[in-house]
Amino acid sequence: MPDNLIIQGPEKGVLLITLNRPQALNALNTELLGELSAVLDAAEFDTEIRTVVLTGSERAFAAGADINEMAARDLVGILEDPRVAHWQRIARFPKPIIAAINGFALGGGCELAMHADILIAGENARFGQPEINLGIMPGAGGTQRLTRAVGTALAMQMALTGEQISAQRALQAGLISEICPTELTVERAIQIAETIASKAPLAVRLTKEAVHKASDTDLATGLRFERHAFTVLSGTADRAEGLKAFQEKRKPKFTGC
C-alpha cells in the first residue's frame, strides 16, 4: 500500500487518488511520485478503471517538488533523477485524469495538475510556477504546457515573476475548465469522471489522444490522426451498440470492445 497516497475505488469506473503528505503540503518527493507512477501502471490495464480523479487536500493540491530533496541533488543527481521516469509515466497514462485542485498548486504541483486532461478547481485554488524564486526554472512542463494552456503572455509573467494566480484568473485564462465551492471540488470531479466512465472506453481513449494532438502537432497531422482514429472506431462493437441504442431509444451498454 502506498504511504503518500490514499487510493479509493474503483467505483463506477472511477479511481480516486488523493495525495497525502500533509506535513509538507503534498510536496512531490521521489517516493510519492514513484507510488503514483506504480498506481497508474496497475490502473492502465485494469478494465474496471475507466477514469482517474487526482486530488490533494483543501489546503494544497501540491506545493511543488520537495525542496529539501532537491537541495540534496547535484548536477549528476539531476541528470540521473528517477523522478523524470515517473513524470513520463504520468504523461503517457492513456485514460482520462481529472484533477480536483484546492489550495496551492505550485511548481511541480501546477505541472502535475497540467498532466491531467480536465482541471477543475476550488474557489481557494492558487496556481503558480515559483521556481524562479529558488534560482531555478520549471522542470516538468511548466514552460510548455502552461504556455499552451494560457498563452505566452501570462505563462511568461507567471514563470518569470513566480507570482500566483487565483482560480478565477486560471478559469479566465483557460488553465481550468470549472470553479466549484472548495468543499465540492472532489465531488464534482468524480461526477465528471463517472460521466466519462460510462462512455465507450476505446472512443474515450482515442478522443483523449486526438485532443492532445491539437497542441502536439500541426493541424494537418492532427486532422489526419482524427480521421484515422474515427475510422478505427468504426470497427468496434461499442460503435454498433451506440448507434443501435439511439435508434431503439434506450441507453447503450458499452463493453470496451
**Contacts with ligand DAK, residue ranges (CB under 6 A):** 24-25, 27, 63-68, 81, 83-84, 87, 104, 106-108, 130-131, 134, 139-140
Q: Compute the C-alpha angle 86/51/107, nearest 5°.
A: 40
Q: Catalytic pick from 24, 56, 64, 111?
A: 111
- The amino acid at residue 222 is G
Looking at beta carbons only, is 64 or 201 nearer to ligand DAK? 64
Looking at beta carbons only, is 69 or 178 nearer to ligand DAK? 69
Least distance to ligand DAK from the beta carbon of 243, Å? 44
Q: Catalytic pick from 107, 108, 122, 141?
A: 108
Shortest Cβ contact with ligand DAK: which residue?
107
Looking at beta carbons only, is 14 or 24 nearer to ligand DAK? 24
Least distance to ligand DAK from the beta carbon of 234, Å? 39
Looking at beta carbons only, is 66 or 238 nearer to ligand DAK? 66
As given in the structure block, the three cell numbers for residue 82 are 528517477
User: Contact, 128 vs 162, CB < 8 A?
Assistant: yes
Looking at beta carbons only, is 78 or 232 nearer to ligand DAK? 78
Least distance to ligand DAK from the beta carbon of 18, Å? 17
Rounded Cα–Cα distance for residues 19 and 32 (Å): 8
As given in the structure block, the three cell numbers for residue 238 are 461499442
User: Contact, 164 vs 126, CB < 8 A?
Assistant: yes
Question: What phi and psi, each to the nearest 5 degrees, are found at residue 51?
Answer: -145, 160
Contacts for 2-8: CB closer than 8 Å, 24+ residues apart: 2/35, 2/36, 2/38, 2/39, 3/31, 3/35, 4/29, 4/31, 4/32, 4/35, 5/32, 5/35, 5/36, 5/39, 7/39
Active site residue 256: no
Least distance to ligand DAK from the beta carbon of 103, Å? 8
Active site residue 131: yes
Active site residue 80: no
Q: Catalytic pick from 60, 62, 65, 121?
A: 65
Question: What phi and psi, each to the nearest 5 degrees, are found at residue 48?
Answer: -75, -20
Locus of grid cell 480523479:
53
Least distance to ligand DAK from the beta carbon of 16, Å? 23
Active site residue 122: no
- Please identify every residue annotated as catalytic: 65, 108, 111, 131
